């Protein structure tokens, strides 16, 4: 929803407090702009109090004598001279419409956005637009939301009017900090010069140190009781300060910041191509700068990106695009970008602790987070310890180290160091646990994610996957698996996804027996081959993420865990191994990404070790945790320091991350009981599976069932599948896997900015070879999801 | 400097603005406390304006009729009725002492701290203390520093007096955010109830949602022109609100928060011992809760820790200790804990971006950081690309992956996948590069840092180390090295550390020839053995950190790089290898930790790949970067996606980390040109080495030369060494290495809280077996360093 036009400079005017002279300073700005022969638009979105006192009328009164074309607009006007949220309530009460639907933030922001677009795009003449807010930065908007939050979706460049009165140093700095914390760029601070309190002189140094432009204007004359006299002296004031050049210098500065911003954005793609080394990007294929996404800011589900070559449908095209973050920024986004609660949580911990030493120490954010995760989170009922690290990959390295030690403690008493080095893991083909080499070794080398030192240690099974194909929910059983058992269509076709995800209800099915046969035969084969011992089972529950967004039949994973735990297989080498321990990598699937806090209840088994990251911090910054059971922890206990888990990072349990995670978990808890979620669950929940006892393990999705069904019938699509926020679309006709550009090319028009910028948005999406996937945040509004669905359908229909 | 007393509850009163009724509300609090038969201390640190209007006099006037013992104190009083910083300047001008030394923040805070300690410790009677600040939260203190920053070292529990006037919603919320961002705990918000603006009703919901207690008091009567009448009605007001129970309810709430805080802190060691799994800690050795450091907050170089069993030297001991962070929180701290500029940088990026997708995208914080590092930072002159990851370990994994690919591109055309898996690195014995398994493999398995899957790939040389022993600067040459060449004492004893670190001046020395002989003979031996090919040289320049804080002779590293780069050694296997590429792991030593931005200029050679982390973010949160030269980058270029560097983390280049790093680099630049640094450099710089051309590569240290010299003569100490902020002390008489508890036990009294809490602090330090090390931030005040030095000396003398 951001705006940036080459010929139209837009600034919003915030006040450090009410009654600091916002309107007078804005009038001075309007006059200075007008004197440069430009069109000047003054926008007061909401005005309260009698018309005669209204700010737009003031502007009209004192800026109408100039050569430039000055236009004033007020979008919402209320007669009571109180804060907009109160005035709105009074008006509603007076009109008797207090029961009618209230205006929402989005409605109002859209009205403002439309107005700005309309006037900015209507002409290629040089134009300055000043939007004046009401009261102070946190004064409530009409809806009651603080203005600093309310206006954030537009993120307009900002002029802060400082407070020149006694106490004004404090209110000015605090207002500045509240704006900064919400990601606004403050192009200038302006205030009156009061020689007695000399706030301006203090603040000039203060903001100078912070490279913020500050200018001060002479104090306006005191209000005169005679209106005519008042008009005359006020006129004179404006004329005087204009003669002295104050407002013009400010306008020149704002012009420069505007042009610099465009130049800066314009240069970024080229500079980035020259200096950055992107992950997973073949720089040899980034042929020109158009392939680089320039992210100016982000809010909610949307990136605000710079478009150097916007379609020229209007005289002055908007250089900013609104792009839906369709990969939830690599599966991290939880409540959308730039959520003020998370920003404040980060600042709070940074201000109280910074980072502090963690071994054998404790601080509240780390302790509270551990307790929540273990006692009232994904570890509830089985986990007893929390070990922190920095990301999913390191947390999985920790998990592997824990599992190997636990295994060796029981089974490795006579093993040599070299034998221990050769211990393997059991996993699924297509697994992915991160990019550090230790966890790469826990995956097949055949995978695309490899490097020179990658030397796989273990064995990987073929896993059956879940698909909705032409409206039918089914399991695709690989030949290697089905070869073990004769299956009929009834065995792998289901009446609904909910039935398929009812693992316990399927435990005695023929498919369960088939899986058992296959897994046991693989293990027998391994044993006969004399393969290295298997020390751990490592699974991504429900979905193999980076490995192709493959939805694995949960029954298969359940049977696998049961066999791994119960079977004791004789090893040809030095004895016997029993199937311990089990690691769940829930970095991607956990914390409600797939609809549940943990996938363990879906499988009906708990792990010995589980790993969380990504959404743990609400999508703000890196932090990961490895949860473990008591017996894993006990494997490291002794009287010798060398037996300790010798793994740590400098920023282990950094307070900022832990505090943000605590805030995230509170917000998750609230979201999980929201009516939006109940509605979405209801849409997926057939009467048969709506048993309230099982409600919390019933399959559901953010994506509409009829949309998913429609997709699954499309000619170009092999199958689709969804769980929670995740939607995967597999295209027909490619066997190149990760190297394939099929999905990317089929959907490419989604990433184009729609011509009608007001009603629509472009979509950023990621593909994994022939699979395209889409992901929302946990609070993406339903109307955005529905719009996104129709964009996807129409793109695929137009192919 | 924090305070916490069981029997003395302390709250500071901050105002959302000036003139919001702080003194009236504080008076109400004082009266309510006094009515509970307690001693009440009212502290106004600084008062301005005529005595008759002073806040402490107001308190005296309206709270003297109560049964409790009410005492008022004002520490600094100025007669001009303006902000304290202006009043102080006026007073100085009047007294003609404007040239004399100004009061500093520390002096004033110490005066306040002394006062609080004195009155809190003097009696075990129940006492409430209210400290009233002046003006708004960011109003300048006497020194000109914003009060929110000024009072932060004490981090007293806070009552925020909200603003009930028009605009007061905004100023109250902004003030609250400024306080939160500085790590204050806000126990209550109090404001007057004005029915017209109804700020209290809005704010009650607002703070309720944030779990902050809010209470509102009836508006006080307007000031009466007749003083006697005014006294009477004001008295009545206080009596009335007391009758209605408002202030008492607030005092009860503050009592509860006080007790809850103590209970919470008291419980933390036990809860932590039950739930947390600490890195590098043998939980079997943490026998009781006393071994757990409870960190309540941190500021500057100090932790504020909770002590459950303080020494009972006073009737009411302070439960908070002031502990110097002697390991700089695992080598991360740069400008001390909780620096407001870093907290604000984090909040700013969180509010503008949150986290955003990075591959093939760009945002300003990541781009600016890359450009700074490459063009005006440690990569200047050789590096062309920046690759981000999350910590030193992952950044080293990236470095290894880059080096292996670059090697294979040149030398590995005919190598099989299995041969590539076996490629090795050349390094130094005792190296450490992190705890992910890939970089563990780049270190010797003999190291303490190992795990089951650790399988070393490469060869590690014995490195000579630098020591100051009995005042003499010398190189300890291992026998394996000296066996190659006949050395005289003159060859390894130096007239100063500066001479030793003049690597180019030593390039033709006999020691250089000795090193060359040793290294070449090792390489020949490897070749004859048919060892795996060496694909990269991996070095921690100057200091092997985690491997025992061993200062390696820089000449040895220089000779090694030269040989590795120039020699082409025939391999018995499939051909020849030439010594490429060279990786510098500067995670610990870089960014001025050892006094220089990069150690490359000291060695006189640049690497092909270098890694930075830890101080990159000023010690706030995890971020790392791998810098590379053009030819390394080019090794990954092709038309195939599978040839790309397939390494990435979800939060790669997270904007919060990058923005904090940009702020850090600006602050580093400023610090590097500070007079404090010039002074410290001067102390180490002998005339012989003070050649201005070489100034920036001259050895220097934060630790005083005479202190280091004294240490090196102590009976119990084998040797000491220092560079930049780092000091290492090696004790005599242990050969157990990492397992040794020698250094820990020798210095243990340092960690005890001194009896005289006002003048002193305890010291948190870390050891690596028989080596103790100490580390400061880059802005640790000289007086703190000197005090720390005398504590270390006196501890060792008392052994």
Q: What share of chain A is helix, strand, coil (3-state, %, to 5)?
A: 40, 20, 40
Q: How many contacts (CB atoms, under 8 Å) link A and B?
A: 608
Q: Which is more confidently placed, A692 or A538?
A: A538
Residue B569 has a pLDDT of 46
Higher pLDDT, B688 or A584: A584
Residue bearing the bigger pLDDT, A81 or A152: A152
| pLDDT at A569 > cutoff 50 | no
Nearest Cα of chain A lies from the Cα of B528 at a distance, in angstroms, of: 24
**B65 at interface of A, judged by CB pairs closer than 8 A:** no
Instruction: Answer whether residue A571 shows pLDDT above 70.
Output: no
Q: What is the pLDDT of residues B566-596, one digit of tens each?
A: 865 444 344 443 447 999 999 999 999 999 9
When CB atoms are compared, the residue of B83, B355, B366 closest to A619 is B355
- Chain A residues in contact with B283 by the CB 8 A cut-off are 633, 636-637, 644
Question: What mean pLDDT do residues B670-699 have?
Answer: 79
What DSSP assignment string belongs to A54-94?
Answer: -HHHHHHHHHTTSSSEEEEEEEEEESSSS-HHHHHHHHHHH
List, as ranges, residues 319-378 from A with C-beta within 8 Å of B.
Answer: 325, 327, 329-333, 336-340, 342-344, 346-364, 366-367, 370-371, 374
pLDDT of residue B121: 84
Q: Do A647 and B279 touch (CB under 8 A)?
A: yes
Chain A partners of B419 at a C-beta cutoff of 8 Å? none
What pLDDT, on a 0 to 100 scale, did the predictor assign at position B96? 84
Q: Identify the pLDDT of residue B572.
A: 39
**Cβ atoms within 10 A of the Cβ of B195, count?**
8
Measured between beta carbons, the chain A residues lying within 8 angstroms of B445 are: 417
CB contact under 8 A, B351 and A633: no
Mean pLDDT of B645-670: 97
Considering only residues 212 to 271 of chain B, which have any Cβ-Cβ distance to chain A shorter than 8 Å?
A: 264, 268-269, 271
The Cα–Cα gap between B595 and B598 comes to 9
Residue B424 phi, psi (nearest 5) = -115, 170
Q: What is the pLDDT of residue A685?
A: 82
Q: A359 and B613: CB-CB below 8 Å?
A: no
A455–B421 CB contact, under 8 Å: yes
Q: Is the peptide bond before A581 cis (omega within 30 degrees of 0)?
A: yes
Mean pLDDT value of segment A416-442: 96
Q: How far is A557 from chain B (nearest CA, A)?
A: 25
Q: Tell whether A291 lies on the interface with B, counting CB pairs under 8 A.
A: yes
pLDDT of residue A700: 96
Q: Is the pLDDT higher at A533 or at B493?
A: B493
Q: Dump pLDDT digits (tens) for B136-163.
A: 999 999 999 999 999 999 999 999 999 9
Going along chain B from its start, the domains and CATH numbers come out as: 8-261 (3.40.50.300), 340-675 (3.40.640.10)
In this structure, are residues A171 and A17 in contact, taking their beta carbons and an 8 Å threshold?
yes
Sequence-distant contacts of A674-679: CB under 8 A, at least 24 apart: A676/A779, A676/A782, A679/A782
* Nearest CA distance, A426 vs chain B (angstrom): 15
- Return residues 610-669 of A near B (CB < 8 Å): 613-614, 619-622, 628, 633, 636-654, 656-657
Predicted local confidence at residue B769, as pLDDT:
87
Whole-number Å distance between alpha carbons of B395 and B438: 11
CA distance B207 to B212: 5
From CA A385, how far away is CA A629, in angstroms rounded?
Answer: 7
Q: Which one, of A775, A727, A718, A684, lies nearest residue A502 by Cα?
A: A684
Q: Which residue has the higher pLDDT, A696 or B513?
A: B513
**Interchain pair B19, A436: CB under 8 A:** no
Of B182, B278, B360, the CB nearest to A359: B278
A380 touches chain B (CB under 8 A): no
| Partner-chain contact B173 A340, CB within 8 Å | no
Q: Which residue of chain A comes nearest to B344, CA vs CA?
A: A347
Taking the alpha carbons at both ends of chain B, their separation in whole angstroms is: 28
Residue B253 in contact with residue B213, Cβ under 8 Å? yes
Q: Looking at the predicted structure, is the pLDDT value of residue B746 above 50? A: yes
From A461's Cα to the closest Cα of chain B, the distance in A is 22
Chain B: closest CA distance from residue A365 (Å): 10
Residue A693 has pLDDT above 60, yes or no: no
Restricting to B residues 485-504, those with a Cβ less than 8 Å away from any Cβ of A are none
pLDDT tens-digit profile of A622-641? 999 999 999 999 999 999 98
CB contact under 8 A, B294 and A354: no
Total residue count of chain A as it appears in this document:
799
Report the alpha-carbon distance of residue B592 to residue B464 in Å, rounded. 23
Of A18, A48, A22, A11, nearest in space to A136 by CA: A18
User: Which of B177, B268, B653 has its CB closest to that of A367?
Assistant: B268
How many distinct helices (H) and strands (E) make up chain A? 27, 30
For B552, other C-beta atoms within 10 Å of its C-beta total: 23
- Say whether residue A142 is in contact with chain B using an 8 A CB cutoff: no
Look at residue A35 and give its three-state secondary structure.
coil
Q: Does A697 touch chain B if contact means CB atoms closer than 8 Å?
A: no
CA distances from B671 to A407, B328, B595, B674, B678 (A): 51, 17, 11, 5, 10
**Beta-carbon separation of B170 and A264 below 8 A:** no
First to last CA, chain A: 28
**Degrees, nearest 5: CA angle A188-A189-A191:** 140
B positions 147-176 inside 8 Å of A (CB): 147, 155, 166-167, 169-175
Q: Do B269 and A325 touch (CB under 8 A)?
A: no
Buried b (16+ CB within 10 A) or exposed e, B408-436: bbebbeebeeebbbbbbbbbbbbbbbbbb
Given a cut of 70, is residue A574 above it in pLDDT? no
Q: Is the pLDDT of residue A503 over 60?
A: yes
The better pLDDT of the pair B347, A799 is held by B347
Q: Three-class SS of residue B132?
A: strand
Cα–chain-centroid distance for residue A466? 27
Q: Average pLDDT for residues A170-176, to the nearest whole number?
A: 98
Q: Sort out which chain B residues have CB atoms less than 8 A from A173's CB and list them.
A: 138, 146, 178
- Chain B: give the shortest CA distance to residue A162, in Å: 12
- CA A543 to chain CA mean position, Å: 20
Among residues B25, B161, B141, the alpha carbon closest in space to that of B78 is found at B141
DSSP E strands, B622-661: 624-628
């Amino acid at each position: 929803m951001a705006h940036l036009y080459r010929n139209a400079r837009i600034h919003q005017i915030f006040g450090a407090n009410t009654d600091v002279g916002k309107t007078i300073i804005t009038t001075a700005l309007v006059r200075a702009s007008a004197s440069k022969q430009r069109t000047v638009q003054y926008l007061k979105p909401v005005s309260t109090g009698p018309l005669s006192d209204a700010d737009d009328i003031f502007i009209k009164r004192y800026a109408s004598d100039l050569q430039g074309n000055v236009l004033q607009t007020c979008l919402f006007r209320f007669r009571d001279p109180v804060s907009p949220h109160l005035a709105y309530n009074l008006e509603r009460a007076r009109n008797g419409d207090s029961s009618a639907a209230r205006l929402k933030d989005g409605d109002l922001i859209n009205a403002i956005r439309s107005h700005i677009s309309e006037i900015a795009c209507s002409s290629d003449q040089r134009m300055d637009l000043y939007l004046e807010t009401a009261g102070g930065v946190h004064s409530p908007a009409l809806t009651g939301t603080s203005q600093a939050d309310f206006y954030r979706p537009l993120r307009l460049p900002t002029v802060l009017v400082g407070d020149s009165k006694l106490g004004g140093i404090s209110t000015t700095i605090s207002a500045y900090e509240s704006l900064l914390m919400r990601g606004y760029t403050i192009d200038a601070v302006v205030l009156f010069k009061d020689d007695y309190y000399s706030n301006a002189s203090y603040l000039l140094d203060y903001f100078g140190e912070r490279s913020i432009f500050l200018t001060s204007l002479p104090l306006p004359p005191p209000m005169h009781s005679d209106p005519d006299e008042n008009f005359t002296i006020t006129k004179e004031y404006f004329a005087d300060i204009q003669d002295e050049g104050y407002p013009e210098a400010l306008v020149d500065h704002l012009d420069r910041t505007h042009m610099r911003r465009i130049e800066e954005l314009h240069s970024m793609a080229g500079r980035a191509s020259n200096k950055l080394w992107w992950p997973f990007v073949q720089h040899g294929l980034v042929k020109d700068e158009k392939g680089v996404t320039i992210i100016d800011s982000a809010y909610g589900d949307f990136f605000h990106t710079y478009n150097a070559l916007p379609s020229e449908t209007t005289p002055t095209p908007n250089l900013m695009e609104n792009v839906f973050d369709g990969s939830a920024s690599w599966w991290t986004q939880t409540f959308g970008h730039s959520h003020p609660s998370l920003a404040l949580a980060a600042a709070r911990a940074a201000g109280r602790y910074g980072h502090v030493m963690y071994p054998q120490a404790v601080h509240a954010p780390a302790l509270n987070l551990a307790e929540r995760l273990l006692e009232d989170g994904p570890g509830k009922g089985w986990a007893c310890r929390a070990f922190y690290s920095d990301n999913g990959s390191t947390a999985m390295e920790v998990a592997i180290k824990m599992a190997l030690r636990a295994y060796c403690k029981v089974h490795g008493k006579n093993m040599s160091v070299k034998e221990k080095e050769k211990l393997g893991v059991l996993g699924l083909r297509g697994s992915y646990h991160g990019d550090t080499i230790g966890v790469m070794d826990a995956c097949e080398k055949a995978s695309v994610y490899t490097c020179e030192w990658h030397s796989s240690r273990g064995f990987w099974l073929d896993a059956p996957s879940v698909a909705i194909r032409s409206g039918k929910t089914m399991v695709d059983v690989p030949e290697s698996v089905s070869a073990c058992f004769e299956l009929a269509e009834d065995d792998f076709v289901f009446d609904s996804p909910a039935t398929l995800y009812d693992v316990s209800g399927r435990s005695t099915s023929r498919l369960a027996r088939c899986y058992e046969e296959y897994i046991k035969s693989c293990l027998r084969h391994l044993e006969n081959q004399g393969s290295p011992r298997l020390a751990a089972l490592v699974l991504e529950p429900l979905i193999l993420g980076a490995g192709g967004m493959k939805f694995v039949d949960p029954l298969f994973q359940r049977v696998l865990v049961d066999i791994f735990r119960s079977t004791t297989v004789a090893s040809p080498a030095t004895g016997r191994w029993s199937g311990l321990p089990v690691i769940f990598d829930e970095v991607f699937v956990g914390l409600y990404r797939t609809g549940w806090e943990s996938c363990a209840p879906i499988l009906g088994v708990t792990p010995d070790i589980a790993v969380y990251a990504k959404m743990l911090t609400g999508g703000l910054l890196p932090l990961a945790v490895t949860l473990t059971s008591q017996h894993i922890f006990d494997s490291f206990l002794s009287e010798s320091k060398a037996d300790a888990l010798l793994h740590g990072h400098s920023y282990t349990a950094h307070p900022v991350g832990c505090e943000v995670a605590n805030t995230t978990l509170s917000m998750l808890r609230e979201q999980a009981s929201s009516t939006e979620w109940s509605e979405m669950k209801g849409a997926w929940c057939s009467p048969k599976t709506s048993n309230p006892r099982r409600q919390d393990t019933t399959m559901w999705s953010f994506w509409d069932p009829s949309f998913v069904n429609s997709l699954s019938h499309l000619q170009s699509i092999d199958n689709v599948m969804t769980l929670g926020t995740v939607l995967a679309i597999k295209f027909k006709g490619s066997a190149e896997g990760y190297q394939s550009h099929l999905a990317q090319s089929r959907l490419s028009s989604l990433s184009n900015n729609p011509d009608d910028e007001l009603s629509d948005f472009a979509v950023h999406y990621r593909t994994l070879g022939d699979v395209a996937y889409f992901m929302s945040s946990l609070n993406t509004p339903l109307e955005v999801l529905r719009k996104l669905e129709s964009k996807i359908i129409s793109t695929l229909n137009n192919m």
